[in-house]
Structure 1
């Protein structure tokens, strides 16, 4: 059967959300530079949604957009805008106004905040809605590949390259070396865990709480480990 020239379908993506909490252009510029220096490879050429819920109509959107782009980000949309005049300026700049999913990864900063958001369009689910099933991948997950296990556990029986991304509403098991990003409990389930046999991840997250690679305790790098939430804080233990 011949396909139509175009198709329009729903899909799931994970995107960075950049929260701008201050009008000062110089401060935004300095804060972005500092944030990128923390993990340059992770933020390089990253598409972002910019949240401006902390700004008012006096904000100079054109200059803010220019500063963000100058640091190598690609702005794909804006969220959190409450002012009609500011909305008009954003739309005139060629960008859409978006609404966000509530499940965000928190990393507080006074003036600027980068948040990793499973931008998933499905309805919110409680823990009871999770179906006990698994998606099993037995081939290497290459850089640039993104795998999302909706309402399920994700099991990888191979290695995961840097730049790859694993997202699951359930647990994530990796029987191999993982160098990419791993996000379990993406729909907000705080009981989910990450299990891996060779931990070199760029980012690990459970239900919105996350560590970048330099925040993972060094004694667990390259080792077998399980990562989970305890009293709302990320915790890591050895599997051996």
Structure 2
């Protein structure tokens, strides 16, 4: 038994980021409700981060926040905020303003000149391999890596990878590739019967998967910003 009443540990969670591109709360509310109606099992009561990079301090934040909450989504933070007035409104509403991983503070002084580093020296490609069945309610996350599943994936299970996802068994759960935003990622599946497939936030629920590919060996990717599917040869 631990000697202290609490313990702080680092962890990783998959959160959807809602990018707000309209300043009218009712327009945002209706657009969110339409998305939730398309995939209620995936989005109902889901925790989300709101990205407000395109909004300014002119927005009525109290109404905007209420519009999002009224759909059932749970706001856990706000990112992309560059407007100081909007930051103050968000802080007064009791929400944390988050800095995304790709954001970097700009220095007033010129950056030091360094020797260029090739991607091969700076990046190690990783792959996570899972050989056991993935059960309902189980989530597997491959951080900064591809994910390979050599067994079946049950309905209600979730696969998340910052890279590609390969499933060599029956796929009945959810697969989310490119979770960190990499739009070049793909999903490869020998038997596609998924509840949901997603690449870099673009997703299809089961009913949107073309019937001729359902239950077949398939390969999904993004083309011109939209999900596309083809036979896996």
Q: Fold-level match, TM-score > 0.5?
A: yes
| Cα offset, 1:88, TM superposition | 1.9
TM-score of the pair, normalised by structure 2: 0.77
Gaps of 5+ in 2: 103-117
| Residues 45-101 of structure 1, C-alpha deviations (whole Å, 9 max, x = no match) | 111111122222121111111111111100000112222232222122221001224
CA distance in 2, matches of 1:190, 1:44: 25
Pair member with larger Rg: 2
Q: CA RMSD in A?
A: 3.0
The yes-or-no answer on 1:171 pairing with 2:125 is: no
Counterpart of 2:128 in structure 1 is: 134
CA distance in 2, matches of 1:226, 1:12: 27
Counterpart of 2:88 in structure 1 is: 88
Q: What is the correspondence of 1:1-240 to structure 2 with a 5 Å cutoff? A: 2=2, 4-102=4-102, 126=119, 129-143=123-137, 145-186=138-179, 192-206=185-199, 208=200, 210-213=202-205, 214-228=207-221, 234-239=227-232
Gaps of 5+ in 1: 103-124
| Cα offset, 1:221, TM superposition | 1.3
The answer on whether the counterparts of 1:141 and 1:161 sit within 8 Å (CA) in structure 2 is yes
| Cα offset, 1:163, TM superposition | 4.0
| Residues 119-157 of structure 1, C-alpha deviations (whole Å, 9 max, x = no match) | xxxxxx9577233543224032322x3211234432223
Q: Secondary structure at the match of 1:23?
A: coil
TM-score of the pair, normalised by structure 1: 0.75
Q: Secondary structure at the match of 2:95?
A: coil
